[in-house]
Every structure is written in C-alpha cells, then in structure tokens.
Amino acid sequence: MECNFNFLIAILFFGVLGVCNGGALRKNFYKSSCPQAEQIVQNITWKHVASNSTLPAKFLRMHFHDCFVRGCDASILINSTPNNTAEKDAVPNLSLAGFDVIDEIKTQLENTCPGVVSCADIITLAARDSVSFQFNKSMWEVLTGRRDGNISRASEALANIPSPFSNFTTLTQAFANKTLNVHDLVVLSVAKELGQAIDRDWQRAVQLANKQPRTGLFSETRPG
C-alpha cells in the first residue's frame, strides 16, 4: 500500500513539474547526441537506490527545491564562491542530499558524451528513476532538453522556498506567487514528503483542492 501511495504521489508530482517545458522539451532529446544518456542515469540511480531506499524522497525534494526558485535549471547544484552564497548553502537546502549520486552520473555522462546532457535533465531523470526502481521499469515519460542556469543565490532560495513552519495562508500565497494554486500546493507538498503524515493544514488543503480547478503551473527557466 505504501509503495502504491508513493508511486501515485510521484506521478502527481511530475504531472505538475513535467509541464515546465518553456516550449522546448521533447521526448528522446538526446537520441542522436547521446543515445545512452537516459540509460546511464537509470543504471547509476538504481544502483544507489538498491542500497539506500531514502533516495527517492531525497531526489524529489532536490528537484522541488531546484524548480521552485528559478525554474528547473539545476541552479541547486552550483557551489558558492567568495563573492556569492549559492542556493545549495541556503538554510532550506542544507539538509538536501544525493549530490554525490548526481555527480557520479554527470561524470559518467561527460566521459560518454562531453558537454551534451544538462544537469537539469539529470536531476529530473534521477528523480523519476529513483521512484521507478521498485517497479523495475520507468513508470512515466520525462521530456528532456532543459538547459542549466548559471545564476544561483541563497537569498532567492530563502525568499522562494516555503518554510516547513509556514501556515496554510502563507503557503498558498507562496504558491500563488509562482502562479500555482491549491491543487499544486497539495500535490507538491505531499510529494516532497513522500507519504509521511500530513497535518491539519494539509488536510484542509486537500479539501479545498477538491473544490478548486487547477490553473497555475511552473514556467521553466531556459537560459540561453
């Protein structure tokens, strides 16, 4: 039952993030330039999930925190410099994990197809593949072709990522600022927790989501 619930939440999660296409994502984006790309991501992700069952939740959370700031652009992976504190070192992101697996995937892809596969696509595919591991097959399609951002500011993460202590009113406003509605709030928040107990605010959100149409969606950043 828990596995089925987690799978359902993940499907809903990617139903919201999956439309962040900027008009340029497509199926099999790397078919010609790096035909092994998606298989490499899956192989390495599955290898690690096999020995660490917490990775699906970690990758979903990383994906969420990345997309909620500047769109799904892998800015969460950029390291801080003496002149700039990056998103990765913002307080909401200090507990993120799984970066070592993303690094391993990126290294293998660079050895196979240098300079071709974006880190943004790696994060998105790894999130999908980590959840799919228990089913021994990819459970949904991920469109690819994202570009990596080159701007990452801790201040933007602090300003955009909802606090775990936020009440329902604050959360709905934070999501509204991203043109997301109550339905998206419920789906993304529950997906982020991967089936853990939801408090009274989430229960209220579920009730409201059943009454309100879904309107807002992410708009993915695609820097040139």
Closest to 193 in 3D by CA, of 57, 14, 68: 57
Residue 176 inside a domain? The answer is: no
Q: How many domains does the chain have?
A: 1
Residue 120 inside a domain? The answer is: yes
Residue 147 inside a domain? The answer is: yes
> What phi and psi, each to the nearest 5 degrees, are found at residue 220?
-75, 135
Domain span at residue 95 reads 20-157
CATH number reported for the structural domain that contains residue 70 in this entry? 1.10.520.10
Binding residues for substrate: 162
User: pTM for the whole thing?
Assistant: 0.73
Residue 35 inside a domain? The answer is: yes
Residue 165 inside a domain? The answer is: no
DSSP reduced 3-state for 54: coil
Residue 209 inside a domain? The answer is: no
Q: Show the low-confidence residues of the chain (pLDDT under 50).
A: 1-12, 15-16, 18-23, 194-224
Residue 217 inside a domain? The answer is: no
63 catalytic per annotation: no
Binding residues for Ca(2+): 66, 69, 71, 73, 75, 87
What pLDDT is stored for residue 163 in this prediction?
66
The one catalytic residue among 48, 63, 65, 183: 65
What pLDDT is stored for residue 112 in this prediction?
96
Closest to 224 in 3D by CA, of 152, 145, 148: 148
Residue 43 inside a domain? The answer is: yes
